[in-house]
Structures are given as structure tokens and as C-alpha cells.
Amino acid sequence: MDLSFTDTQKMLVTEARQFLKSTWGTSMVRKLAEDTKDYSNDLWIAMAELGWMGIVFPQEYGGTGGNLIDLCALVEEMGRHLVPGPFCSSIGLVGLTLLKEADNETRSLMIPKLASGQITATLAVTEETGGLAPEDIETICVRKNDHYILNGIKLFVPDAQNVDYILIAARTGSKPTNISLFLAPTGSDGIDIRAHKTMSFDAQGELRLVNTQLPLSSLIGEFNNGWPLVDRALQLGTMLKCAEMLGGAEIILDKTIEHLQERVQFGRPIGTFQALQHHCANMAIDVEGCRYLTYQAAWSLSQGFNSRKEVSMAKAWVNEAYNRICTLSHQCHGAIGFTMEHDLQLYTRRARVQEQSFGETQFHVEILTKNIGSLRRGSL
Amino acid sequence: MDFRFSLEDERFRTELLLFLKSDTPQPMPFPGNMTDEQEWKLTTVIRRKLAEKGWLTMNWPKSYGGQDASSIRSLIFNEEMSYHLIPGRDVFGSRMLGPTLMIYGSEEQKEEFLPPISEGRVQWCQGYSEPESGSDLASLRTQAEDMGDHYLVNGGKVWTSMAHKADWMMLLARTNPTAPKHRGISFFLLDMRTHGIEIKPIINMAGRHEFNQIFFDNVRIPKDKLVGEEGQGWYVAVTLLDFERSGIDYAAQAKRLLDDLTGYVIKAQEAGNHRLSKWWINDLLAKLYIDTEVAKLISYRTAWLQSQHIVPTKEASMSKVFGSETFQKVAAAGLKILGLYAPLTSDDDHSALSGYVQECWRYSFMNTIAAGTSEIQRNIIANRGLKLPRN
Ligand SMILES: Cc1cc2nc3c(=O)[nH]c(=O)nc-3n(C[C@H](O)[C@H](O)[C@H](O)COP(=O)(O)OP(=O)(O)OC[C@H]3O[C@@H](n4cnc5c(N)ncnc54)[C@H](O)[C@@H]3O)c2cc1C
């Protein structure tokens, strides 16, 4: 057993933190929000220069051959600093799916560009129901001669407005799991993308497909048998979402402790009040839970094990724990935490959006009930 | 024991509801769907109407333009106003300052300041908190120096709600820097048009301009605007904090939000929405239904104690903590119920309930801090209420 990062991973974390501290701050998150942009090209290029987009790809594709724990550690740092941009979507959702499932030609065309940050991509699954089961997919694809035609509306697609390619999950047969995946450039005819307007400064969008024609080569994986690919991509995406949230949870605890040491009321630092000490102790337990459930999920996925249970435990816990942490932090900060000027609300708002993406708590709890021992299916 | 309201009280409730139907916009736009200016305009219009009805200061004695209403009557009024999201009530003037002036004010002060409040013609603000003095209010540093025929005020305030719309401020300032901290404070009435006052907006987490930072640079206050004795200000202010604290506003807000969410879910279930038909949604709503009932009952009990002329110290704190935390829970549950739709703001084509739930949720961080944090309230419950030894 070893519950720590390797030296290389520690170095990666230190470097990432230093880099983000010096080049990226919440003032820039705010500036993006004011300019109604949700993505910084300069930052993206700088991250690419550091080789971050290539971290999990093999060297033959221009990557550095790291594993999912490396990726998790990096995303955790990005979460700490509210780094915008389609990193997890490009690398975790699309890059790793293509690496495993695309044919050689697509792979050698796409992966080096993804690994160098030259192009970006995302995965479109959810629709009107907001659900993450194959039954929720109604976007339809039919084959007509030498191309595919897609019709449907995808909602809540992460980073939709900021990517060059979208991997689209569409229904191609009548059985619930008859789903296939198609890779489409976002500039294609018949593709219309609109950004959602949200209370956070996160990027998600609506994707409208109206008689969108795609070549036969756009199919990724097997026709009618794409759901396992989606499922795996979602598991990876869920783990990375947890990592992002873990980063946020850590920095919120750090900042809260700082505030409790500095703020004086009744002639002493408010950190001396046991009511607040207990708040912090509870937050620290929650952070610890977030951390090791997330790392366990990352490790399990990196080993190629069946990780459904680990991933769902992590997301179900992190959803609740991170929001508890934010709420307690507001409580500890007093009025200053209720202002736009203060950074806390940036995280609090994002946390509620993150809670919903890649499966709300109850979604993952349900998965667990089907995967813990031989629990009987309850009646309604 | 009887959990019902009296017939006269029920009649009042009906009259109030009819008035709200005929004299306020129907349906009342959600706060998030109005600009700050639109909301302020509506506030002033409705306030005048409430004043005409005598309801604005119903809790005041008849001799001061009130209706001698019981605390139960006020409870009903506040419950319905909060539930129906109606702006226009006057927390600072009618609930706080008026009753205080009746005890501590001079005859001239009562004559000058009470009528404009009961007629709904004036906006007051509360200048207590300072950057270094929040929960520890008695440590406040803003100075009022006795200059013979006037006081000269220097320093500043923060979190001052509605200061940018206010005509007058209830100001706590230190008149004796060497006295023990509770004894060196005085209570003033400050005309907000006085030279030397600077108001800087602070935008809150919901994106609204409600509170402000205030700077005083040699601000002159005439001597006759001191309330009570010099050095007595802390006690004047504390009296004022004890007025009208049933906590029903929090409970009613929570109940309203829960009812809206329940209505939303029922509609969705009828339309065959699979996700919103799951057991946990119903379970969540039912549990919160109980919580809002508890919040309501604690408030009712608090108001009832007041009607029996018992000071409900512990109960008032309980209803404040529990009510504000229940609202927070309901709002967070609302986000869970709306799922991926929850973060969408009113200007998104797909937004649910006009983005009102995320707005409520953002606001829900306010009331566990304002007017005494939950921690301070729990200290009060433990020390004053349960007689546990003080730390
Ligand atoms: C929306 C809003 C509107 C407001 N409007 C006004 C207004 O109009 N006029 C006005 O004067 N003020 C106003 N306030 C200020 C309000 O009164 C203060 O925010 C409140 O008293 C808390 O002070 P603080 O924010 O400085 O927090 P702090 O006092 O710094 O508290 C920080 C943390 O320390 C804890 N703490 C402090 N002392 C103790 C203790 N003894 N034991 C345990 N825990 C403790 C608190 O509970 C909190 O968790 C408003 C505040 C808000 C949020």
C-alpha cells in the first residue's frame, strides 16, 4: 500500500501550483465573466507549452505517457484555481476515448493535435431529461448511402461553445443501448451551438443538430454499440470532476483557516471560538473524504479495474461534502463572504454546478444500490 | 390549548390577502426578475398603500398612528407579506426605530420622526456594523466628538442596507473613548444629506446592490439628534434588537419556496417526467415540509409568548437560527430538484421557474449571518436560554 503521490507527481503538483499562482488568479476569472467569455486562450497556450494536454498520451502521439493519477493531480490543481477551458473535455472525455477506440487513421490525425492543445473537443450525451442513461438519448442518427444524418438537441454539453470537435452520442437502433458515437467538427453544416447562461462562470452549451451530414469515417467504435464507450468516458469525466471539486474544497478550507486566524472579534482571533473550530474540523474531515475517494477512483481506473463503485462513491460524497464545506465557509466568513468582491462565492456557485454535472448525488447512489452486495431492489 | 387563530385574526388575514390581490402586481415578479430600481419603485408604492391601511405600523400604539395590533396580528401580517414576496414593509423604521423612540426619544424627536414612518414617507437605515466590529458590535470605533453645539462624526460603517436610498440613519458612535466599551457609545439620528457622508455600493452574492460602505468625514450632527443620554447608546440599541422578532419571515420564505418547488414537481410528474417521479424527490420535499412546519411553529410560539408579554429571548433566537437554516436547506434542495437546469439564469431559454431558485439559493447565505450570526444565536440559546455557563 502507498497512499501518497510519487515524487514525480509531487513535482508536477508543485510546478502546476506555482505556475497557476503566478499566471492565473480569480481576478482573471472575474474578467472573463465580465467579458462574457469563459475561456482564456493565453492560459490555454501556456498550459499546452507545459505539456499538460499531453500528460496521459503515449509518446508516439506527442504525449509524455503519464497515467490517470497524474491527470487527476493536475486537474485538482486546476480546480483550486478555477482554471477555465475545455481541458477535461478534450483530454478525459474525447482524447482517451479516441486513443482506445478510434481507428489508426483518426488516432494519428487527432491525438497529436489534442495532446499539443492545438485542437479541443468535448462529448455530448445529455438531452432534455438531463439523465445519463442510454434511454435518455433521443438524438437520432440514420445512415443514408455514404453518410450519416443526425437530428436532435443536446443540452448541458460541457464546453460546447469552446471546442473544435464534438463527439456525439446518438441513437442508431431501437434497443435502449443502441447508441453510436460520431465525431463532428463544430463548424459542420447543420450544427448550431449556443452557450447556456448560468449562475456560475462555467461553460456549457446547447447543441442543435438539424439534418447534420457526417461522413462514414466519423463513426467512432462500433455501430450500435457505442454505449460502453460513453459509459467509460463518463466514468473518467466523473473522476476528473471530483478532482476539480477536491481542489476547490481544499482551497476553501485553507482560506477559511486563514480568515479565522486573521479576523479579530471580542479581542481575539475568531479562530479561538470552538464553534468555528468545529466547523473547520468538520470541513477537514470532508476534504479528507473527498481526497481519498477521488484518488481511489483515479487509481482504480488507472489499473483498468471495474471502477463503477469507486467512481460513484466518490461523486456521491464529493457532491455533498464540497457543498457542506462551502456553506460552512460562508458561515465562518460572516458578511464579507456574502459579497461579490470576495472569492468564496466564485467557488460556492461553481460547486453547485459541479454537483449536477456527471451525475447528481442520487444518480450515483442508485448505481451503488445496484452494486453493493445483494441488496434487494426496493419497491417504490 | 388551541392551535387556531381567533376569528378576528382570520378575518384580518382574509382582508390582507384580498388587498394583496387587488393592490399589488399579480403574480408578484420574482425579485430576480426586477432590477434594483424597479424593486425600489414597487417598494415605495406598496409602502404608501400599506401606510394608508395603517398596516405599516400596526404594531404601534394608536396614539402614535398605529393600530395597537397584537404580536399575533403582526405575525399574520408578516407571514403573508413574506410568503407572497411583497416588498414595502419597513424593518428599520416601523419595527426598530419607532418603538425605540417611543421609549427613549424626546417629545420633539417623536413628533418629528414618528409620523413620516407611519405614513410610509421615509426610509431609514441602520449604521451599526463596522469593518472591525461585526458580531462584536460594542467594539465599534466611529467617533462622535462633542463640539459644544453639535457632534462631529468621523469613521465609517459597513454592510449598511439601503443606505443609498435612505433619508436617515440610526447611528451608533463612540462618544467616550476611555469609558468601558459598552458605556462609551451613543445613539444618533443622522440626516443622510449631511455634508461629509460618502456611500460606496457593495454588490452582494446575488448580484444586487443592497448594502453599502459608508465613510464619515467631519459629519456634523445637531445635539438634538442624540437619542437618550450620551453613553447610553448601547442600551438603546439593544432594546431595539429585541422588538418584533418572531422569525416568521424566514419560516414563511422557506414555506413559499417549498410550495413553489412542490408545485413544479407535481406538474412535471403529471407530464411524465421520469427523473422528477423518483422516490427521493418526494422524500426530500416531505422532509422539508416537516422542517418548514417546525420553523413556523417555533415562530408562532415566539409571537404567542410576546402576546402574553413574556420576553422570548431563547425562542426568538431559535426561530431565527432554525428559520434561516431551513430556508438555506430548502433552497439547496431546490437546486437538487431542478438538477442540471438549476444553474440556468432567467435569460436562458431553458431556465426553470425563471431562475428564481438559484436566486433564492444565493440569497440563502445572507440570513444565517445578518442580524446576529447563527453561532451568536446559538450562544444566546445556550447561555441565556439554557443557562449553560458562559465561555
Ligand atoms: C445581508 C446583510 C445585511 C446587513 N445589513 C446590516 C445593516 O443594515 N446594518 C448593520 O449595521 N449591519 C448589517 N449587517 C451586518 C451584520 O450585522 C453582521 O454581518 C453580523 O453582525 C456579523 O458580523 P461580521 O459579518 O463582521 O462577522 P464576524 O463577526 O466577523 O463573524 C465571523 C464568524 O465568527 C463567528 N463569531 C464571532 N464571534 C463569535 C463568538 N463569540 N462565538 C462564536 N462564533 C463567533 C461568527 O458567527 C461568524 O461565523 C448585514 C449583514 C448582512 C449579511
ipTM comes to: 0.97
Residue in chain B lying closest to A357 (CA): B340
Domains (ranges, CATH) in chain B? 7-89 (1.10.540.10), 125-232 (2.40.110.10), 246-385 (1.20.140.10)
Distance between Cα A32 and ligand 1 center (Å): 31
Assess whether pLDDT exceeds 60 at residue A113: yes
Q: Looking at residue B240, what is its pLDDT?
A: 66
* Residue % of chain A over a pLDDT of 70: 99
**Is the torsion defined by CA of B74, B76, B80, B85 positive or negative?**
positive
How does residue A378 score in pLDDT terms, banded at 50, 70 and 90? low
* Type of residue numbered A111: I
Which domains are assigned to chain A? 7-119 (1.10.540.10), 123-225 (2.40.110.10), 228-377 (1.20.140.10)
User: What is each CA distance from A164 to A34, A112, B147, in whole angstroms?
Assistant: 24, 14, 71
- For residue A283, the CA-to-ligand 1 centroid distance in Å is 21
Q: Where are the alpha helices (DSSP H) in B27-124?
A: 36-53, 71-83, 98-104, 107-118
For residue A334, which residues of chain B lie inside 8 Å, CB to CB?
134-135, 369, 373
Structure confidence at residue B28 (pLDDT) = 86
Look-up: residue for cell 466590529?
Answer: B133
3-state secondary structure of B186: strand
Strand partners, A180: A170
Q: What is the mean pLDDT of residues A127-143?
A: 96
Q: What confidence tens digit (pLDDT) does each residue in B23-82 have?
A: 999 888 877 788 999 999 999 999 999 999 999 999 999 999 899 999 999 999 999 999
The pLDDT of residue B326 = 98
Is the pLDDT reported for residue B10 higher than 80?
A: yes
From the number of C-beta atoms within 10 Å of its C-beta (0-12, 13-18, 19+), residue B124 rates as: buried
| Ligand 1 neighbour A338 (Cβ under 6 A) | yes
Which region, left, alpha or beta, applies to residue A156 given φ > 0 means left and ψ of -120 to 50 means alpha?
left
Please state, in angstroms and rounded to a whole number, the distance separating the CA atoms of residues A186 and A46. Answer: 24
Joined together, the cell numbers standing for residue A334 give 460572516
Among A51, A27, A31, CA closest to A39? A31
What is the chain B residue with the closest CA to A201? B343
C-alpha closest to that of B98 among B134, B69, B72:
B69
Mutate which of B373, B376, B390 for ligand 1? The one with the most ligand atoms within 8 Å of its CB, which is B373
Q: Any chain A CB within 8 A of the CB of B382?
A: no
CA dist., res. B345 & res. B341, Å (int) = 9
| Rounded Cα distance, B131 and B325, in Å | 25
State chain B's mean pLDDT as an integer: 95
Look at the block and give the residue holding cell 435518455: A136
Confidence of residue A279 (pLDDT cuts 50, 70, 90): very high
Secondary structure of chain B: what % helix, strand, coil (to 5)? Answer: 55, 15, 30
Distance CA B100, CA B274 (A): 55
Q: Which of B278, B332, B379 sits opposite A323 (nearest CB)?
A: B332
A380: nearest CA partner in chain B: B279
Confidence at residue B26, expressed as pLDDT on a 0 to 100 scale: 84
Between the CA of residue A89 and those of A97, B8, B65, B116, what are the distances in Å? Answer: 11, 63, 65, 60
Which chain B residues contact residue A274 at CB under 8 A? 391
Nearest to B204 among A197, A275, A339 (CB): A339
Indicate the pLDDT class of residue A63, thresholds 50, 70 and 90: very high
In the reported structure, the alpha carbon of residue B132 is separated from the centroid of ligand 1 by a whole-number distance in angstroms of 10
User: What gap in Å lies between CA B317 and CA A69, rounded to an integer?
Assistant: 48
Decide if A203 contacts A39 (C-beta within 8 A).
Answer: yes
Task: Write the residue with the smallest CA distance to atom 26 of ligand 1.
Answer: B134
How far does CA B82 lie from the centroid of its chain? 10
Q: What is the pLDDT of residue B380?
A: 93
Q: Which of A270, A339, A340 to mutate to test the pocket of ligand 1 (most atoms within 8 A of CB)?
A: A270
Q: Could you tell me if B85 and B256 are in contact, meaning their C-beta atoms sit under 8 angstroms apart?
A: yes
- The set of cell numbers assigned to A289 is 473524504
For residue A327, pLDDT over 80 is answered with yes
Distance from CA of A210 to the nearest CA of B (A): 18
Q: What is the pLDDT of residues B214-253, one digit of tens each?
A: 999 999 999 999 999 999 999 999 876 666 578 999 999 9
pTM over 0.90: yes
Q: Give SS3 for B81.
A: helix
Average pLDDT value for chain A: 96
Phi, psi (5° rounding) for residue B319? -70, -30
Q: Report the distance separating Cα B136 and Cα A267, nearest Å.
A: 9
- Interval B91-125: pLDDT, tens: 999 999 999 999 999 999 999 999 999 999 999 99
A376 three-state secondary structure = coil
In Å, the largest CA–CA distance within chain A is 80
CB atoms within 10 A of CB A145: 6
Rounded Cα distance between A281 and A278, Å, is 5
Q: Is the CB of B132 under 6 A from ligand 1?
A: no
Instruction: Answer whether residue A380 shows pLDDT above 60.
Output: no
